[in-house]
Amino acid sequence: MNNSHVFLTRHGARVDTEDQQWLRKCSHNRSDDPHLSSAGRKGALELAAEIKRQVDGCTVAHIVSSPYVRCVETAHIVAEVIGVDVKIEPGIAEVNSSRTPGFLDVVELQRQYPLIDTTYTPIMASGDLPREYSDGA
């Protein structure tokens, strides 16, 4: 019998919850794309250690992440510990405003996070993400 497991997690703590001036210190202007805080990186390391413990002796087939930097950073920390590249899937990204989110593309992400799998073809391209309208907008 083949035992398969799926682990689903949320990204680590965002820097914008700890530092209101974070965007001024960044090299980009994507206000909806904060990176992890120091607590978020610590949490991602704890997550990676726990997943490694849980999958001890098993093969991890995939790590899939939203293209938001905080998600990629969390997934990349796990990928470093587990030894599996990260597939970027815009189709699982949160869209919570009246404009399509501004993501970095896979090549740009790989410059900062080398374990990004640039051969993966996403099910939904970031340009195809629907705009989500709320509050009558």
Using only C-alpha atoms, the chain has a radius of gyration, in whole angstroms, of 16
Q: Do 60 and 80 meet the contact criterion of CB atoms below 8 Å apart?
A: no
Q: What are phi and psi of 120, to 5 degrees?
A: -70, 135
> Tens digits of per-residue pLDDT, 40-91?
999 999 999 999 999 888 888 999 999 988 999 999 999 999 999 999 998 8
In Å, how far are 16, 32, 36, 37, 123 from 23, measured between CA atoms?
A: 8, 10, 12, 13, 30
The CA-based diameter of the chain, rounded to the nearest angstrom, is 53
Q: Do 81 and 56 meet the contact criterion of CB atoms below 8 Å apart?
A: no
> Tens digits of per-residue pLDDT, 16-45?
777 777 667 776 666 677 888 889 999 999
The secondary structure of residue 56, as a DSSP letter, is: T
